[in-house]
Amino acid sequence: MKKIFKRYLLAFGVGSAIMFSSCQKYLDVNIDPNNPSTADEKLLLPAAELAVGIGLGDRYNNITALWAQYWVGGPGVSQTAWDRHELQAQTMDRPWSIFYSTAGQDLATLIKSPKPVYRGMAKILMAYNLQLLVDLHGDVPFSEAFKGAIEDGSITSPKSDNQTEIYDAIIGLINSGQADILGADQKLDEFPFAQDLIYGETFWKIYGLHADGNENDPDLLNIQYGWNTFGNSLKLKIWLRQSNAAGRSAAAKDSVAALYDNGASFADWETQINGFNGTAAATLNVNPLYANLENSLKNFYVGTTTSIDFLNARGDIRIDNFYTPASTGPDAGNQIGIDPGSAGQPGVPLSKSEVSTISNDVYYGGAPVILLNWSESLFLQAEAAARQWSAEDDQDLFNQAVAASFAENGYDPVGVEAEDHLS
């Protein structure tokens, strides 16, 4: 009887296991493939980079170009509040929400990845975005941000952290990210050669950076070098920004000196989000500034007298890349701007054709979103040298920076001297 009972139990157990296994496989069909519980890093990384590009390339570009007086609301435009620094609650809501609800969430997820290269890229991009936010807003959520999930503490109202502490945390993120990317435990098959929109496959094709001359061969060293130099340039930028802050000058100087003592290399090409190829505003894969201006703000902005007069006074040929000439009126054929906030005032042209609009060389469907260009990297190095924080030649670096800016705008930098374009 006992043997029969044991056999019965064994048969029941096996049968139950088979039924349970079959049931599991059957129920698997109810898993929504469009809402996975975990994200593949190769899908999440380009999504995060694109979100960063949208936040930076759209509203940040708009606001800063207006505040720097490169652009201004043109004739016939009734909304010139930004020109007059009349800020409203919604003025910066888009880049804020893009970071905290989209880009930052994706980057926070990637930082938890078991694959070091993804962690490293995410940390450096997180640092970059945090710097933008702190520069604009001061104190912002950081230590409690991106912790809305139950496993992270269900924090839905994160506190704002002190900006000084965040700047220090940014440096820590960059250092950790560089260590992850340059680590000896890297696996070639885990590297996002095609998926990294900043220093991946598209970047190699633009610059032809292939150690063995084979453009189809993934070049691990170039990706590592790109991200590492980007990180060093960000650290230099942050420390220079802090040099005039109360109680931070000595630490900034020592940190920059240590950077040079350790033989740091800095970005010597464009750090940008590549891969946009849209030719119309309706195309999804399109530069975000182009999409914004073409869809809703076409010819909304015109050039300012501040910028155009400055460039004209110095014979700066780059003006043709920045502004279109007026097509009608007394200044037809020449670049002409208006004063910020002056649209609609007496004596100001009433037609956009009488003033300069923003050139398509500045924005177009396939334009990359610049995170840090070569000229900025050189200007940062020149400033460090001018402060005698490095042994480099500040004048030489400054001249290189000016020449690089001309090259970035399609002009031959040979023979370009900085003093020729200064007052």
Among left, alpha and beta (phi > 0; psi -120 to 50; other), residue 345 is beta
* pLDDT value at residue 20: 43
The vertex-198 CA angle with 192 and 199, nearest 5°, equals 65
Closest of 203, 204, 223 to residue 215, by C-alpha: 204
In which band, very low, low, confident or very high, does the pLDDT at 308 lie, cut at 50, 70 and 90? very high
**Block residue for tokens 């950081």:** 142
* pLDDT value at residue 56: 82
CA distance 13 to 344: 85
Using an 8 Å Cβ cutoff, are 210 and 286 in contact? Answer: no
Using an 8 Å Cβ cutoff, are 394 and 382 in contact? Answer: yes
Question: Higher model confidence: residue 302 or residue 283?
Answer: 302
**Block residue for tokens 């700066």:** 316
β-pairing, 271-273 with 369-372? antiparallel
CA distance 121 to 273: 13
In which band, very low, low, confident or very high, does the pLDDT at 277 lie, cut at 50, 70 and 90? confident
H-helix segments, 213-349: 220-242, 249-261, 288-295, 305-313, 319-322
In which band, very low, low, confident or very high, does the pLDDT at 378 lie, cut at 50, 70 and 90? very high
* pLDDT value at residue 366: 83
What mean pLDDT is reported for the chain?
Answer: 80
Within its chain, how far is the Cα of 233 from the centroid? 14
In the chain the domains, ranked by start, together with CATH numbers, are 41-269 (1.25.40.390)
CA distance 238 to 224: 21
Question: Higher model confidence: residue 17 or residue 96?
Answer: 96
Question: Higher model confidence: residue 254 or residue 75?
Answer: 254
Among left, alpha and beta (phi > 0; psi -120 to 50; other), residue 208 is left
β-pairing, 71-73 with 160-161? unpaired
pTM value is 0.83
Closest of 67, 104, 99, 61 to residue 82, by C-alpha: 67
Q: What is the pLDDT of residues 143-184, one digit of tens each?
A: 999 988 777 778 888 999 998 899 999 999 999 999 999 986
Spatial CB neighbours of 254, under 8 Å, sequence gap ≥ 6: none
